[in-house]
Amino acid sequence: MPYEAPTHTVERSLRATTGAKIIAGVDEVGRGAWAGPVTVCAAVTGLRRPPDGLTDSKLISPKRRETLAVELESWVSGYALGHASHEEIDGLGMTAALRLAAVRALEGLPVQPDAVILDGKHDYLGAPWQVRTVIKGDRSCIAVAAASVIAKVRRDKMMAELGIDHADFGFAANAGYPSPVHRAALEERGPTPYHRLSWAYLDALPQWRHLKKARSWADVGVPEIEGQLGFDF
């Protein structure tokens, strides 16, 4: 399907209105998965023209995405990845886990950014970061699109490696997201050591429901962003 190429419009606006010189695009992958970490990439691109075909990672074929990620890693001014493990997601909740992963990514950049373009409508970063949220920023903003592709490729590879000893779950194909293969393996074998055990999918698995972890973070009064999907997804 045709799509509009991402631009530097938001970045130029931030530069003009805030005086920011170094701006990082930030995107996550793995928020709705049932297994594995949530991964965040922070990318600084400047105002240069990106490699051809850059857009939201979900709109790019796996083969092209892998090739593009290699191009982007040498094209960007700098990038870094941050991860929050499935244990951290269970213990903290997705909002706090996303912030943890994003801070790890931002702090891993070679130069700290003056401002951040964050994909989506929720600012899960907050102070001291100067944040501009952009819905579908991975399609409209070059830096966010670059972060989207790099994060997706890196996490997919990580999940394929985690799945080597759990072939029935198909992690190499589904990256820990719900799929028919993944669901069938869960029903038969129960969660792997990499599954998120506070997730709602366990409610539909009576034989494994005893493994579900209570959400201790649910009572702290912080609204939880979308991300916990049930078995009927």
From the annotation, which residues make up the binding site? 27-28, 119
List binding-site positions for a divalent metal cation. 27-28, 119
Please count the residues of the chain.
233
The answer to whether the beta carbons of residues 175 and 33 sit under 8 Å apart is: yes
> Which strands make up the sheet holding 115-119, listed edge to edge?
78-84, 38-44, 23-29, 115-119, 131-134
| Pairwise CA distance, residues 112 & 144, whole Å | 16
| CB contact at 8 A, 224 and 218 | yes
Q: In this structure, how many other beta carbons lie within 10 angstroms of the beta carbon of residue 127?
A: 7
Residue 210: how many other CB atoms lie within 10 Å: 8
Contact 197, 211 (CB under 8 A): yes
Strand partners, 195: 35
